Each structure stands twice: as structure tokens, then as C-alpha cells.
Amino acid sequence: MSFGTRPFAALGASALREGLLDGQFSAREAAEACLARIGRYDGGVGSFLEVTPEMALRAADEVDEKVAMRRFEELGPLAGVPVAFKDNMNLAGAHTTCGSRVLAGHVARETAVCVQRVLDAGAIPIGKLNMDEFAFGSSTETSAFGRTCNPWDLERVPGGSSGGSAAAVAAGFVPIALGSDAGGSIRQPACLCGVVGVKPTYGLVSRQGVEAFAESLDQVGPFTRCVEDAALAIDVLAGRWSAGAWQTELSRAVRDDVRGMRVGMVPSFMDVAGLSGEMREAVLRAADALALQGASLREVEIPGAQVAMDAYRVLGPCRAFENLACFDLARYGVEDAQKLPLAVGAEARRRIVLGGYLLSTDEGARYRSAAKEVCRRIVDDYKHAFGSVDVILAPVTPRAAFRFGEITDPTEMHLSDMFTVSVNLAGNTAMSMPMGLGSQTGLPVGVQIIAAAGGEREMLRAAAALERAIGGPSVAPLFSA
């Protein structure tokens, strides 16, 4: 099923709404085409853990009924748009496994607030997406239900922990997918899969009904193939939309230019050992593109970011241990709590043991105190930097997508998030913006755009300017047919 000469896989939310209202296709046709594409191709990608065709077609029929009755004032800004959800987000009637066999039989009784807001805006619920077990990982290799492959190269990882979400958008299965980000778990896979990925300001999107890795760090956000869709999705997730309106404040803001915008560059980020040449080039190209459109470039420093990974590796396992301890295991299928360490994978066991140690020993208490002091320092560093710039450009991750099994050292794997974790510790907003293909690997590369808490408007303006200059992401060539 095509819209004009373009397949549904290439369409974003705006084009889908346009075709729906013009009568070029129905929401059911779009949903059926989406489901058929997943059935045909996802066996090779592994992005979905569960597909929900009954829910999808029921929601599509409700949209079609409103269109047929010309009740356009009742339609939300995502009417008829297929959306899928990371499998730590509850959708009533669907499984929520968090990528773990511990929760393999669990069917959600309620729907997470973030998911419900998307559904209330008219979206078509397509299914649940693969993830690293309990969001513990950076490659989606730790899922108990099998790995997800990068649509640009099926022998490489999609990133993590929201790898299923990034892959589903990159393969053209859905135009919008939701993920969660506690230290880079939206931005890093978005970069490796060549799509847009946004971590909103901490607290902007409700986490009620989302199984948390670390509730003091987690934030739900969207993956998309264009900046306008990301802006639209953020406003929907934040509850900032009204029925009958096809645009939101942020989706209109992305049309503004960047003349006079102050863009910060962090020299110490660019000189980090291990940063690949093509990722460094992506940041420099982004800076040049913004400067050509009237932005000014300035150097800033975030000294606390140098030790952000150390703080994260203390606070993250502590929060993870506390959250896992809150599970009513009998409800989720494990009657004996002592069996939990045997039921989960190696990475989850590693974090359970480390979190327990850090929370129960005097030495752990000292580490926690030092980590909290680092967080305060990072908050102050960012506040100082944003006194002189509107956004900061930085790398997203040190390298392009790596091959499965290539990184086996947990410490090296954690370094995938070296440029992203400081944003979570500070509660700021940030996103990954595709910058085409790397000169060395031919794989997707990207740039991170960071803004102060509440600074989504400026961040998305900068991203839209890059999209105009560089071009937006496309469906991966293996799945472009």
C-alpha cells in the first residue's frame, strides 16, 4: 500500500495525517500495511517482542469513523499514526516483560500515562519493543528474548537499552516509537540507527506506569525520522495538545531559523580518547552548518562531566537494586524471591550485586555521597554554561554501531554513554540528530544537542536547522523497498 509513489514506511506523522484527511487511504489501511511490513521483515531485525493487531485495528477503525462522520474536531495530532512502545511501558492487555524472563508471563492491567497520552492523541498501538533486560545495557544484547539487529547492518548492534525502538523506526516499521533514557538509552541507539531520538527535560513526561531503571534519572521520549514528528510527540507526551489541532507549539517552533542562536562547543568532549574520527567530524559539520545559518559558536566547559560516568556507575546500580526490590515477584511469576538472581541475565545480576553492596556497606555510603556531590557539581556546570549559550553540541557516543560480541568488557560497554550521562544527572534535555553516514564505516553518525531544563524549543530549532542543511534520516536501505 502506497501513498502516491511513496510507501507507508517512508511517511512521517504529518504526511500520514494529510493522506488520511484527503481520503487517499484510511487509518485501517495504514495500520494493516504497517502490520504486514512487520510480519514480513521483523524476523530479521527482532525489534518487536509483541505485535498487537487487534488493538491496532480497533483504534484505526475509531479514527476512520470520526473521519467518515467529519468529526475532525475530535481527532488528535497523532490520529492514524502507528506508534510502538518500549517493553517497560505498560499497555493494558499486552505483555510487559522489560526484556526479562522474570516477567515473561506478565500482562499489564493498566496503561502507562505516557502511552495513554499517545493513544488519546489518536495513535495506533502497534506493539511492544525489545530492550536490554530491565534497561541494563547499551546494545540490546542482554534481552532474554533475543537480540535486536541494526537495520543498517544486521551483524551490528542497534544500541540500547531502547534498541528495539530505534530499530523499528530505522526499518520503517513505525514512524514514531517510544523509549526511555536513564543515561543515554534513547540518544545512543538513535545515533547508531540513524534516527532522531529525544530525551526530554526530567519530569516533563510522566513516568507513571513505566517500569523504572532509575526513576531519578529515567525519562520517556520519542524516536522519529524527522524533527517535526519529534516535536509533535514531545508535546503529546507532555499533555500539551488539543483535539482538532494538527500542530503543537513545538512542532510550529521548528520552522524558526537559528539566526542569533548561541551554540556551545566543549573542547574536552572533542579530545576524549576513544572518540572516533567520524563522530568528531559529525559534530564539527553540525557546528559549521549552524554557523552558516546565522548561529554563533562559543567554547564552554562542563568540568564535572569528566567524572559523570563514575557517579552514574554508583547511582545507577543503587536505583536499579531498589526498583527490583519493589517487585511483587509472585505477581510477576517468580514465587521465590531467592530465585531472582538465577532468573535474570549476567548484566542484571552484576548490577543487583553492585547495588546491594553500595547500599549496605560503609564504603558504599562513601561512594554514594561522592556521587551525589558530583551531581551537584554537574548541575552547576551546566547552569554556568547555559548562561552564555542556548544549546551545546557534543558527540552522542564514541563510535558507530559495533558488531555483535565485539565488546565483551562491561566497563568498555558502559563507555558508550560517556557523553550522555551527565545530561541525566543534571535533569537537562538533549537529543541525537542524524548527520548522515560516517566517512570511515559508512554507518550512521550523529550529533548530540543539549539544552537547559525546559529548553526543548531551542534544541529542536537547532535540530531542524541541521535537518534543512544535512537532510533528514531515511529508512535503512535494506528495508527501503
What is the reported pLDDT for 338? Answer: 54
Q: Are 139 and 64 found together in one domain?
A: yes
Residues 293-325: tens digit of each pLDDT: 999 999 999 999 989 999 999 998 998 888 877
Cell numbers linked to 236: 503529546
Kindly name the residue from 66, 86, 128, 199 that is annotated as catalytic. 86
Q: What is the pTM of this model?
A: 0.95
- Position 2 scores a pLDDT of 45
3 state SS of 409: coil
Condensed to tens digits (0 to 9), the pLDDT of residues 136-154 reads 999 999 999 999 999 999 9
Confidence band, pLDDT 50/70/90 cuts, at residue 414 = confident
Confidence of residue 329 (pLDDT cuts 50, 70, 90): low
pLDDT of residue 70: 93
Mean pLDDT within 2-29: 82
- Of the given ranges (97-101, 172-176, 208-212, 471-475), which has the lowest mean pLDDT? 471-475
Q: How many Cα neighbours within 13 Å face the side chain of 97?
A: 24
Which pLDDT score is estimated for 4? 39
The mean pLDDT of the chain is 93
Tell me whether the omega of the peptide bond preceding residue 185 falls within 30 degrees of 0, making it cis.
no
User: For residue range 362-379, what is the model confidence (pLDDT) as tens digits?
Assistant: 999 999 999 999 999 999
Per-residue model confidence (pLDDT) at position 88:
97
Angle between helices 456-470 and 277-292 (to 10 degrees): 100
| Count of Cβ atoms closer than 10 Å to residue 201 Cβ | 22
The strands making up 429-437's β-sheet, listed across from edge to edge, are 48-51, 124-129, 82-86, 176-180, 220-224, 196-199, 429-437, 444-451, 391-394, 262-265, 296-299
Last residue of a domain, one of 319, 339, 368: 368
In this structure, are 208 and 331 located in the same domain? no
For residue 411, name the pLDDT band (cuts at 50, 70, 90).
confident
Catalytic residue among 14, 100, 161, 165: 161
Contact 227/475 with Cβ under 8 angstroms?
no
Kindly state whether residues 390 and 441 are assigned to the same domain. Answer: yes
Q: Let me know whether 338 and 297 are in one domain.
A: no
11 and 107 in a single domain? The answer is: yes
Choice among 26, 47, 185, 432 that is catalytic: 185
With cell 559523570, the residue in question is 308
Residues 249 and 121 in one domain: yes
Q: Is 161 a catalytic residue?
A: yes
Question: What pLDDT does residue 105 have?
Answer: 87
Asked if 241 and 356 sit in the same domain, the reply is no
pLDDT single digits (tens) 61-70:
999 999 999 9
Average pLDDT of span 194-221: 94
Tell me, what's the pLDDT at 322? 85
DSSP 69-84: TT-GGG--TTTT-EEE
Domain final position from 368, 396, 414: 368
Q: Are 285 and 339 in the same domain?
A: no
Instruction: Grade residue 410 by pLDDT with cuts at 50, 70 and 90.
Output: confident
| Same structural domain, 166 and 297 | yes
- CB–CB of 182/137 below 8 Å? no
Domain, as residue range, for 331: 309-368
460-477 per-position pLDDT tens digit: 999 999 999 998 788 999
- Claim to verify: residue 428 and residue 315 sit in the same structural domain: no
Do 121 and 130 form a contact (C-beta atoms < 8 A)? no
With a pLDDT cut of 90, the percent of the chain lying above it is 81
86 is annotated as an active-site residue: yes
Tally of domains within the chain:
2
At 131 the pLDDT is: 98
**Long-range contacts (CB closer than 8 Å, 24 or more residues apart) made by 103-112:** 103/332, 103/333, 104/144, 104/333, 105/332, 105/333, 106/331, 106/332, 106/333, 110/209, 111/209, 112/206, 112/207, 112/208, 112/209, 112/210
Residue holding cell 492491567? 109
270: CB partners within 8 A, 6+ apart: 280, 283, 395
Residue 446, helix vs strand vs coil = strand
- Phi then psi for residue 6, to 5 deg, are -100, 135
Shared-domain flag, residues 303 and 335: no
> What pLDDT, on the 0 to 100 scale, is given for residue 145?
97
**pLDDT tens, position by position, 113-124:** 999 999 999 999
- Decide which of 320, 338, 368 is a domain's last residue: 368
Catalytic, 26? Answer no
* Dihedral class, residue 447 (left if φ above 0, else alpha if ψ from -120 to 50, else beta): beta
Handedness of CA 450, 90, 209, 336 (dihedral sign): negative
Q: State the CATH number of the domain containing residue 67.
A: 3.90.1300.10
**392 in the same domain as 336:** no
